[in-house]
Amino acid sequence: AAGVIQSPRHLIKEKRETATLKCYPIPRHDTVYWYQQGPGQDPQFLISFYEKMQSDKGSIPDRFSAQQFSDYHSELNMSSLELGDSALYFCASSAYRGGEQFFGPGTRLTVL
Amino acid sequence: GEDVEQSLFLSVREGDSSVINCTYTDSSSTYLYWYKQEPGAGLQLLTYIFSNMDMKQDQRLTVLLNKKDKHLSLRIADTQTGDSAIYFCAEKSGNTPLVFGKGTRLSVIA
């Protein structure tokens, strides 16, 4: 069965650079969630989209923005990167808002 | 706000049963989940339980829910070395995002 696809899987950036993470949900899933997992931490919710509209907002810094496109894929844009942004970034999708969330493999971002 | 708590470490011998415990504070939680995360890997949904259920069994996994005490447990029967991972308890109510516990690191000793 198709799963959530995230790209890239690994990303290394310098401080103050920008990064774009992409998420392709499971086909026919219309809801996408973004989570950040710092080293040794639990995943923290950042933001979610339902039917291409932002539906919930968590602890997402103002330096970050995200959107969901007409094909339901989503991108997380991160600017002015800081060392503390180094983390695993997970995308999850669900078939409907409030449904079971299936996670992608994550993008490991390292900020040097 | 919502809070989910788990013990951080659990060590068991291969073949024994593992019981991972979780408590949560949000009485309106409608769904409770267990995710497994192996080193450097993503989050794998293991099982979930609706808040109106007491128990759910799925092969080697048994989930028990005590809604009165807001206590959730995951029992893994016949624990194998491949079960070594971090197990996250998570809850949500309705359409809200998942709230995760800190995770329990399960070590299986051969």
Per-residue pLDDT tens for A59-106? 899 999 999 999 999 999 999 999 999 999 999 999 988 788 999 999
CA–CA separation, B58 and A65 (whole Å):
39
CB contact under 8 A, A97 and B95: yes
* pLDDT tens, residue by residue, B44-98: 999 999 888 899 999 999 999 999 999 999 999 999 999 999 999 999 887 788 9
CA–CA separation, B94 and B14 (whole Å):
38
Q: B97 and chain A: CB distance < 8 Å anywhere?
A: yes
DSSP assignment of chain B equals ---EEE-SEEEEETTS-EEEEEEE--TT--EEEEEEE-TT--EEEEEEEETT-SEEEETTEEEEEETTTTEEEEEESS--GGG-EEEEEEEE-TTPPPEE---EEEEEE-
Q: Hey, of B30, B92, B95, which one would you mutate to test binding to chain A, going by the most A CBs within 10 A of its CB?
A: B95
**Residue among B107, B108, B106, B103 at smallest CA distance from B43:** B103
Q: In which residue are the tokens 């399960």 written?
A: B106
Residue B103: list chain A partners with CB under 8 A. Answer: 42
Of A42, A90, A98, the CB nearest to B95: A98
Question: Given this model, what pLDDT does residue B1 score?
Answer: 58
Enter the tokens of residue B45.
């949904």
Q: B20 and chain A: CB distance < 8 Å anywhere?
A: no
In percent, the amount of chain A with pLDDT more than 90 equals 88
Q: B98 and chain A: CB distance < 8 Å anywhere?
A: yes
